[in-house]
Chains A and B, each alone.
Chain A
Amino acid sequence: MSDKIDFDFFGDGLRIFLDYIHRQFKKNPKYMPHPLIRAFECAIQGAEKAKVGQTFMGVSQNGTPKNVCNPFVVVMEKIESGVGVKEIRNIKVDKTVPIDVMLIIFRLQILLDRIEGDCISPAQMVDALNTVIPGNKFYALGDRWKEARDEFMRLLEAGKIRVPNNSKLIDGLTSITYNMTWEEYPNNVRAFIGSSIAQKDNMPSGTVIITSPTNSKIEKFKVFDSATEFLLGESSEFLNLRGKQENNKTPDKNEPSQ
């Protein structure tokens, strides 16, 4: 059969994912899928009624008015046999979204849907990202922030840390005291200090330390935004999360199934 079937890898995945979205709508009419899917839907609706050769653009986003997240644009063209995708783009990172990143976003959507509410914990975020992005590159600092702080101090005193010439960061660093709780640290300082745990544990290069306090709540749309940044944004060049794609060996049809 393998030679006879022209498998459309992405198409099959997309159709199964759209079936998933459809089932979620049946369970909850107020269900809100990822902006990429909403942009897709808008573009398809337009293109379906258009004449051959005409293009339609769907745009969608989430977040808040002050913090726009996940702005996606989908451009579709009406062709003889239906509609064709011309472009899928994330406007924030200003890059075309490749198929593997789309698949990661779809999977992230499914995993986050399984967690009730609009927010998740840092540990849940790390679990979700490690599940969908190959390489187990994410680490939740959690309650190990004191270890990270002490390691940071040790490295600083040993002259092994170079503090960037960033006034906000320097102000933040000078404002902290030994008795402060992790929640009281400014966000940028948490990120700077927290990553010291990677040196302490000899974590592989490119590991992303999520330094949010254990009890904090992270909006789901921010998780998508972070994932897109890690995969396509400026930091993607250093993280190289989309390196080698897996191709798992599964048993063939002649292997025993019982």
Chain B
Amino acid sequence: MAVSIKEINNILAEYFDIIDSYFGSIKHHLGQEEDSHIDLAVHMARYPLVSDLIIDAIDDIDEQISAFWQKNLKTVVEYVKQQDSLKCLYSGDISPVILENFVKRSAFYIDTVILADPIYNLTLFQKQIILDRKYYLQKLIRHVFNVWKLKDLALLDSPQKVIIILPINLQLVNQESRNSLIATADQNLAAYVGKILDVKLDSGEACLDYLEKETTADGLFKQFKHPELLPRIFASQESFQKFLADFSNTGKFAKFKERESVGWDFGIYLRSQFIRVQEHKHFCEKLIAEPIYDYDLPWFFFNYEMGGVDMDAAIATALQNEKFNWISKVPLSAIAVMRAENKLEYMRSVLRQGVTDLKAKKDKDLIVVGEQIEANLKDAFAKQESEIGVLQAQVNKIVRKDIPITSAGFLAGFIPPPYGTVVSLLFAGRDIKKSLTERSVLETTINQKNKNFINLLLRSYER
């Protein structure tokens, strides 16, 4: 039997109730700023003594969330599979840096954003490898409230769910398939590293052993024989060094830093990316969903593996580019308006103009696709402004010429020419009523156009 949206909303409401029962008493600290969840997390984790109490008090959230998904996973997966719509599965970090902005950008093109449950991943898996309890608390609060901010949108009663949260992790894949995915990732890692260094590497292990020998970022950079195969952030020595320093710094809080070597760190990072790609591919296939990313590095490795993606994945991901930062100014209510107006398909057709699967596949950095959809949006805005302009001119005409005169005549008993004295007051009344109705219809149309989703987008673009 088909799973109803009501069932899904009840399940999601229960999910948010769990969050509320653990973190509800500090949610009042969330500010209006888009990154308030990050600030709140940093502050809470820094509380002397109190942060330890919070960590202990919320320690069993993993049991709650695990029990919750054991009960509901099948139903939610069934619902996702039965949706014949454009669904995109996010991958990259535990959750997008600012989920609200990510969803705003995505929801103007895709029906449903599928988000890996950050609480599930953090409390059941990452917690095991994070060495610093305060760091864990910071991450947990940050991602919990990242999701919490979208509670209303997640529970929106629209024909297609805007957001679906699901437990997605390689550990949930049966062992045989998991081993196969990891083996593929290791093979791909060895092939990739072999290509960029121009050496023959037979396995993931051999690859890590080879990289481990290099102890400095400079030395490692000099070994790159094919820099054109590297992500853009690795293309300059300076940015490559910074990346490795940041990555190593993160390693202080986790158990993965087994060996003191820059080359080893780099190898571990690459391996994690190749495994993540396999995981993402696996779950996209299972859920019949397209991949979506919010920043360059994970996107690069997915794209490298796939040899490019199709139009929908490319547009959805290109909308996350910096040039569309202005979409974050669109109020969340605009998404609700667009869904209520059933205009998603129209928006898609606007964005798709001039983009093809072939063009998307060739455009690894999504520069061409990004420029095309920016141009498409500008066209749509220009058309919108022009339509509103024409309507407004008509309203102004009615207001200036007809209504004041006929109104004055009606009110004063004076019937202006050309009706002369033979025109009855009733006729004059009908005339006024007709003009008023016409104006009212036009104003309503303008009002609707002003309130519609494309105008909400336009206003955010102009701000």
Q: Give the B-binding residues of A (Cβ under 8 A).
A: 1-2, 4-5, 7, 9-10, 12-13, 15-20, 22-23, 100, 103-104, 106-107, 110-111, 132, 245-248, 250-253, 255-258
Nearest to B22 among chain A residues (CB) is: A19
Q: Assign chain B's interface to a size class.
A: 35 or more
Docked complex Cα distance between A9 and B49 (Å):
9
Give the residue of B50, B134, B246, B249 whose beta carbon is less than 8 angstroms from that of A103.
Answer: B50
Do B43 and A5 have beta carbons less than 8 Å apart? yes
Residues of A within 8 A of B139 (CB): 257
Do B29 and A5 have beta carbons less than 8 Å apart? yes
**B47 lies within 8 A of chain A by Cβ:** yes
Residues of B within 8 A of A18 (CB): 25
B286 to chain A, nearest CB (A): 24
Residues of B within 8 A of A104 (CB): 49
B233 to chain A, nearest CB (A): 13
Do B53 and A17 have beta carbons less than 8 Å apart? yes
**B354 lies within 8 A of chain A by Cβ:** no
Docked complex Cα distance between A111 and B139 (Å):
22
Give 15 A-B contacts (CB < 8 Å), ordered by A residue: A2-B43, A9-B47, A13-B47, A13-B50, A15-B26, A16-B22, A19-B21, A19-B24, A103-B52, A107-B56, A110-B57, A250-B137, A251-B138, A256-B246, A258-B93
Do B50 and A12 have beta carbons less than 8 Å apart? yes
Give the residue of A9, A22, A107 whose beta carbon is less than 8 angstroms from that of B52.
Answer: A107
Do A246 and B48 have beta carbons less than 8 Å apart? yes
B139 to chain A, nearest CB (A): 6
**B38 lies within 8 A of chain A by Cβ:** yes
Which DSSP category, helix, strand, loop or mixed, fits chain B's interface? helix
Give the residue of B25, B50, B253 whose beta carbon is less than 8 angstroms from that of A10.
Answer: B50
Residues of A within 8 A of B42 (CB): 250, 252-253
**B107 lies within 8 A of chain A by Cβ:** no
Do A15 and B93 have beta carbons less than 8 Å apart? no
Do B50 and A9 have beta carbons less than 8 Å apart? yes
A127 to chain B, nearest CB (A): 13
A241 to chain B, nearest CB (A): 13
A178 to chain B, nearest CB (A): 44
Cβ contacts B241-259/A at 8 Å (1 or 0 each): 0000011011001000000
Docked complex Cα distance between A87 and B58 (Å):
28
Residues of A within 8 A of B24 (CB): 19
Give the residue of A111, A250, A256, A258 whose beta carbon is less than 8 angstroms from that of B45.
Answer: A250
**B198 lies within 8 A of chain A by Cβ:** no
Docked complex Cα distance between A245 and B46 (Å):
13
Do A1 and B33 have beta carbons less than 8 Å apart? yes
A181 to chain B, nearest CB (A): 37
**B332 lies within 8 A of chain A by Cβ:** no
Docked complex Cα distance between A19 and B48 (Å):
20
Nearest to B38 among chain A residues (CB) is: A253
**B135 lies within 8 A of chain A by Cβ:** yes
Residues of B within 8 A of A257 (CB): 93-94, 139, 142, 250
Q: Which positions 83-98 of chain B face chain A at CB distance < 8 Å?
A: 93-94
Cβ contacts B277-317/A at 8 Å (1 or 0 each): 00000000000000000000000000000000000000000
Do A19 and B31 have beta carbons less than 8 Å apart? no
Do B249 and A255 have beta carbons less than 8 Å apart? yes
Residues of A within 8 A of B249 (CB): 251, 255-256
Do B134 and A250 have beta carbons less than 8 Å apart? yes
Docked complex Cα distance between A70 and B362 (Å):
72
Do A1 and B39 have beta carbons less than 8 Å apart? yes
Do A250 and B135 have beta carbons less than 8 Å apart? yes
Do B56 and A23 have beta carbons less than 8 Å apart? no
Docked complex Cα distance between A256 and B142 (Å):
13
Cβ contacts B1-43/A at 8 Å (1 or 0 each): 0000000000000000000011111100101010110111111
B396 to chain A, nearest CB (A): 45
Docked complex Cα distance between A104 and B48 (Å):
12
Do A23 and B21 have beta carbons less than 8 Å apart? yes
Residues of A within 8 A of B38 (CB): 253
Residue from B24, B52, B54, B249 whose CB has the most chain A CB atoms within 10 Å:
B52
Known A-B contacts A19-B25, A253-B38; the reply to A12 vs B44 at CB < 8 A is: yes
Additional pairs, 20, CB under 8 Å, beyond known A1-B39, A22-B21, A250-B135: A1-B36, A1-B43, A4-B31, A5-B43, A7-B47, A13-B47, A15-B25, A16-B25, A16-B53, A19-B25, A107-B53, A247-B46, A248-B51, A250-B46, A251-B249, A251-B253, A253-B41, A255-B249, A256-B247, A258-B250
Nearest to B298 among chain A residues (CB) is: A258
Docked complex Cα distance between A112 and B33 (Å):
39
Residues of A within 8 A of B253 (CB): 251
Do A103 and B49 have beta carbons less than 8 Å apart? yes
Docked complex Cα distance between A19 and B42 (Å):
21
Residues of A within 8 A of B45 (CB): 250
B169 to chain A, nearest CB (A): 15
B241 to chain A, nearest CB (A): 14
Known A-B contacts A17-B57, A257-B93; the reply to A250 vs B33 at CB < 8 A is: no
Give the residue of B43, B56, B57, B247 whose beta carbon is less than 8 angstroms from that of A7.
Answer: B43
Residues of B within 8 A of A23 (CB): 21-22
